[in-house]
Amino acid sequence: MTPIGPATIPRFARGMRLREDQARSRWVVVGPERLFVPDEIALEILRLMDGTRSVDAIVDDLASRFDAPREAIANDVLALLRDLATKGVVTS
């Protein structure tokens, strides 16, 4: 796996997916014997992972929508994606 950086195009690892869980009335990331409930910020990031957008494109989208400093958003996005990559949820 390539380390996740600004030019990386993140995607869910094999078997992992984001879906709405009707029973919990929440969005969840599910995979083999795993279930993660992302918070609101993580959910915004995960929804933008479409297999074509780079980390930079995700950061630009979020910075524009939330009128927040790009550098702060970039740090948060990279931290989340790197953490999820170490857990086997996200790959590049």
To the question of pTM greater than 0.85 for the whole model, the response is yes
What per-residue confidence (pLDDT) applies to 2? 65
Q: Contact at 8 Å (CB) between 58 and 49?
A: yes
Which CATH entry fits the domain spanning 11-87: 1.10.260.40, 1.10.540.10, 1.10.10.1150, 1.25.40.10? 1.10.10.1150
Q: Is the pLDDT of residue 1 over 90?
A: no
Q: SS3 of 5, please?
A: coil
What per-residue confidence (pLDDT) applies to 42? 95
DSSP string, 9-71: --EEPTT-EEEEETTTTEEEEEETTEEE---HHHHHHHHT--SS--HHHHHHHHHHHHT--HH
What per-residue confidence (pLDDT) applies to 3? 82
Q: What is the pLDDT of residues 26-57, one digit of tens each?
A: 999 999 989 999 999 999 999 999 999 999 99
